[in-house]
Every structure is written in C-alpha cells, then in structure tokens.
C-alpha cells in the first residue's frame, strides 16, 4: 500500500467523525500527515475529539452544505477525503430533500471549493455500490455525486475521483449493528429478503483502499475494489444461531434491490480492470468487462460469516 500521498501532506476529511472517518483519521495520523482537518457537524464533534485526541487534529464544526466555511476548511489543503453523506436508505427515502442537500448540493459545493483552491492535488469522494443502476434515493444522490466529481475533474483537469464501496463491517448503520440492537431489545432480528446479496469489505480494507488512492492519478473516474459478497439469509442464520434469537422476514424496504450492482450494463463496455480495482468512466476507453453484481461475486463462507459476526 503506497502512502506517498499522505506523508507530510495537509489533509481534509469530511464526515470525519463517523466510524469510517474516525478510523481514517487515526490512520492518517499514523502515516504522519502534516495536518489533519476534520469537517464535522456540531452534535458529533465532542465525542470525536475524545476518541481521536484534539491535539493533532483541527476540527471544523460545519455542515457539508455550509458554503461559508468550506473555503476556509480547504485553504492550504493538498488531499481531500470526502466521506460526509446521508447514507441511511430509510432516511433518504423518507426525506429525499435532505439527501439531495447533503449528497448532491453539499458535494458539489465541496468540489467547487476544491477546484478553486490551488493547492488541492487529490480528492477522493466515497460513493456506494447503490449509485450503480440506482433504484432508490440514496443511490440516485450518490450517482449524481459521481457525475459532479467527473465533470469538475474533466473541466478543471484535476485529480478528482470517486470510489464505490459496498457494506463496510463495523460502520454505523450496518445491518449487524441494527441486528445487535434488535437482538438485545426484542430477542429477534428482522430480515428483509433472505435471497438478497450484498457486497462487503471490512473497515481495514476500506481504509487501505482510501490511503492507496491518495497516490493514484485520477481524471474523474469511478473506481471500485472487486469485493466479495454474502447472502443476507446466510448471514442472518449465522447471527440468529450465535445469539439465540428468532428471525422474522419482513420484505424489502423502499429503494432496495435484490442484488447490488458494481458495474452496470451501460458502464461495462468502458470499464477495465486495474490490479484489484475496477475502473469506470475514464476519459480513455476501457477494455470492456462484463456487468458485475453481488450475485456474481465470490461468496463468503459460513466460517467467514461467523468470524464477521463475532468480530462486530
């Protein structure tokens, strides 16, 4: 994993007080970034200061859509990791305006501020597999974010790009976190559709990809690690047996698909494989690959699912 893009650099992390953002900031400190700035909403900053240690991190209390503070936050910064997002599927479906404000307008404001800042050499925006062939509000807003990143990168010839992740174990809002709460309170877990499949990577893998991408030249592309996947029913069985709780099938929620897409039919002809990454939307023509969904991915074994449940 290359760390050349981090050492001695001034780095801004938006959404840096979430579970992934906190882990990323800790890794940036380990890699000796010169300065780390965390853009975070006020109500979460106090907990994050305690978790991270305030002496080496500058916290900027602002919403990602707060244009007045974005220019100050980004001044002098060289690398930007954009993690701030409204990413809960149900919350996005119930309040699409909030999702648009954060995921689209906020992202566009950040991208414009970064494009006008002379020192920013790299920007990595964290997207979602739900942005590929989207069926719900979360996916639609993340797809728009990817388009904005690509447009501004191409117009300004800046090294800006997006990375698509699937489910990240240990992240707040993950299915295991919800099941743990439900199991403790109701001795039961709700499963939407046992036949659903989902891409997955652990927090260490996600952070490793982000750090490595800080050294990769971009031209507005979307990149995605070739992730493995699990069947929801298999994970639920392992969790229910291990915790001695019942399982109830409740049906798919609004905005959910049976299988997630990583490379859509429309994207496949222009996609290419680059090491352990799939690269989509480059200004160069891709070699062309087949569409790729979570049903096509290598599945986790029952032993691996047990380890994930035990470690979460």
Q: What's residue 67's pLDDT?
A: 85
Count the domains in the chain: 1
Is 276 domain-assigned? no
> How do 160-165 and 222-225 pair as beta strands?
parallel
Per-residue pLDDT, averaged over 210-218, amounts to 95
Band (pLDDT 50/70/90 cuts) for residue 309 is confident
Q: What is the CATH number of the domain that holds 161?
A: 3.40.50.720
In 3-state terms, what secondary structure has residue 12? strand
Cβ proximity of 131 and 165 under 8 Å: no
For the beta carbon of residue 69, count every other beta carbon within 10 angstroms: 15
Residue 3 has pLDDT above 60, yes or no: no
210 in Cβ contact with 81 (< 8 Å): yes
What is the dihedral sign for C-alpha 102, 104, 109, 111?
positive
Residues 74/114, Cβ–Cβ less than 8 Å = yes
Residue 64 lies in a domain: yes
pLDDT in tens, 185-211: 999 999 999 999 999 999 999 999 999
> HSE of 152 in the Cβ direction (CA atoms, 13 Å)?
25
Is residue 41 situated within a structural domain? yes
At 139-187, the pLDDT tens digits run 999 999 999 999 999 998 999 999 999 998 867 667 888 899 999 999 9
The mean pLDDT of the chain is 90
Residue 34 lies in a domain: yes
Tokens of 251: 């049906």
Mean pLDDT over 107-128 rounds to 94
Supply the pLDDT for residue 139: 96
pLDDT at 44 (0 to 100): 58
Cβ atoms of residues 218 and 152 within 8 Å: no
pLDDT of residue 40: 85
C-alpha distances in angstroms, 116 versus 61, 103, 106, 155? 22, 20, 16, 12
d(CA 229, CA 201): 8
Q: Cα(263)–Cα(280) distance, rounded to whole angstroms?
A: 8
Q: Is residue 220 part of a domain?
A: yes
pLDDT band at 1 (very low <50, low <70, confident <90, very high): very low
> pLDDT digits over 41-76, tens only?
765 555 565 556 544 788 998 888 888 889 889 999
Average pLDDT over residues 212-216: 94
Residue 33 domain-assigned (yes or no): yes
Domain that holds residue 159: 10-167+201-225
243 part of a folded domain: no
C-alpha distances in angstroms, 115 versus 48, 74, 106, 118, 218?
28, 10, 14, 7, 14
Q: What percent of the chain has pLDDT over 90?
A: 72
Please name which of 162, 165, 135 lies closest in space to residue 147, comparing C-alpha atoms: 162
Measure the CA–CA gap between 196 and 194, rounded to whole angstroms.
Answer: 6
Put residue 190 in one of left, alpha, beta given phi > 0 → left and psi -120 to 50 → alpha. beta
d(CA 284, CA 281): 8
Give the pLDDT score at 120.
Answer: 95
Of 16-20, 86-90, 97-101, 156-160, which one has max mean pLDDT? Answer: 97-101
């Amino acid at each position: 994993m290359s760390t050349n893009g981090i050492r001695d650099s001034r780095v801004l992390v938006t959404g840096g007080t979430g579970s992934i953002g906190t882990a990323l900031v800790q890794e940036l400190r380990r890699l000796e970034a010169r300065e780390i700035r965390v853009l975070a909403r006020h109500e979460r900053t106090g907990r994050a200061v305690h978790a991270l240690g305030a002496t080496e991190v500058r916290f900027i209390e602002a919403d990602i859509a707060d244009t007045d503070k974005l220019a100050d936050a980004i001044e002098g910064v060289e690398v930007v990791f954009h993690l701030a997002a409204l990413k809960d599927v149900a919350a996005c479906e119930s309040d699409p305006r909030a999702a648009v404000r954060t995921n689209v307008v906020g992202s566009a404001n950040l991208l414009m501020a970064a494009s006008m800042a002379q020192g920013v050499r790299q920007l990595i925006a964290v997207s979602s597999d739900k942005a590929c062939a989207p069926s719900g509000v979360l996916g639609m807003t993340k797809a728009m974010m990817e388009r904005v990143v690509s447009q501004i990168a191409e117009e300004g010839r800046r090294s800006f790009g997006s990375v698509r992740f699937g489910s990240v174990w240990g992240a707040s809002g993950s299915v295991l976190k919800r099941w743990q709460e439900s199991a403790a309170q109701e001795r039961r877990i709700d499963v939407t559709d046992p036949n659903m499949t989902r891409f997955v990577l652990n927090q260490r893998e996600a952070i490793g990809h982000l750090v490595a991408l800080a050294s990769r030249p971009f031209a507005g592309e979307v990149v995605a690690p070739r992730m493995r996947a699990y069947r929801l029913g298999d994970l639920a069985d392992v969790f229910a047996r291990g915790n001695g709780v019942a399982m109830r099938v409740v049906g798919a929620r609004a905005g959910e698909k049976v299988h997630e897409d990583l490379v859509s039919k429309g994207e496949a002809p222009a996609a290419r494989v680059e090491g352990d990454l799939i690269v989509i939307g480059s200004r160069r023509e891709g070699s062309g690959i087949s569409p790729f969904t979570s049903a096509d991915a290598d599945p986790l074994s029952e032993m691996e699912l047990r380890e994930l449940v035990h470690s979460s």
